[in-house]
Amino acid sequence: MPLTKMSPLLLKAEEEGYAVGSFSVANMEMVLGVLKAVEETKSPAILQIAEVRLKQSPLEAIGPLMVAAAQNCSMPVAVHFDHGKTESKIRQALDIGFTSVMYDGSHLPFEENSAITARVKSIAGEYGADCEGEIGCVGGSEDGSEDIAVNCTSPVQAKSFAVITGVDALAVAIGNAHGNYKQAPKLRFDILEETASLVDVPLVLHGGTGILPDDFRKCVSLGIRKINIATATFDSVQNSVKAAYESGKIKGYYDLQEAEVNGAYENAMKHIEIFGCAGKGILN
């Protein structure tokens, strides 16, 4: 199955009532672990990296790896540039072969966010790629460096934003936040339900780490079609490596590598089951 765009994955999810996992990766081991789970469960998936993570994982190094891995997977996999902040990095991701990009203007006034997102949508279109936007402000920050307050999405503004920008997917804020929650979040399912009734494009949930399985399933039932998982992947890899050292399983580098792959694999397996996308990897 060749590398695919994000939109057919999300449209099929919309038709059949499940969500596609969008897994943040930082190295080859995480990519291998996620795609091992994808192959075993016959699931669609999205590999992603956020612009704030590029200090640790330079785009020119990890980007081609992500694209090549997706191209060689038997299941449909999109490669996504998450939380793009600058046009130069968004273009670099598209030049590398990413099949979707996100511009995150959620911190900007509505008019400015709409205008820049529409421009990024046009740029993505030049490459035959998809574009995700965000309306409302998801709490926290992608790299944990900021404590950004949640500003829940206005369903009416979401409808206008989708029309103005023409985005292929729309991230909404319903009480969700990036990073580890100090306590289980209280999600605004009423906002999600109203937004889904007004907006014609697939909806995206950021800040998936720490959301309870039943809350994930309710979000899916109300219209969420892409769920971002970042911190949970990094935590799972770290915990897998720690456990392998403590149990004496790591005798050298390749044992360390195996522990990293296993951490990403176990995390992806868990979320694929919750999101209901197992067995959905065959596109019509």
What letter does residue 181 receive in the DSSP assignment? -
Per-residue tokens: 62: 């990890």
What letter does residue 149 receive in the DSSP assignment? P
| Main-chain phi, psi angles of 109, to 5 degrees | -55, 150
Listed in sequence order, the DSSP H helices in the chain are 6-16, 28-41, 59-71, 87-96, 110-126, 155-165, 189-198, 213-221, 231-246, 253-275
* Set 82, 104, 130, 168: catalytic member: 82
Cross-strand pairs, 224: 203
Measured between alpha carbons, how far is 23 from 41 in angstroms, rounded to an integer?
15
Q: Which residue has the tokens 């990094």?
A: 234
Measured between alpha carbons, how far is 61 from 140 in angstroms, rounded to an integer?
27
Measured between alpha carbons, how far is 161 from 96 in angstroms, rounded to an integer?
28
The reply to whether 130 belongs to the active site is: no
What letter does residue 106 receive in the DSSP assignment? T
- Closest to 11 (Cα-Cα) out of 176, 130, 136, 97: 130
Whether 120 and 82 have beta carbons less than 8 Å apart is answered as: no
Helix, strand, or coil here: 225?
A: strand
Helix, strand, or coil here: 139?
A: strand
Helix, strand, or coil here: 257?
A: helix
Catalytic positions: 82
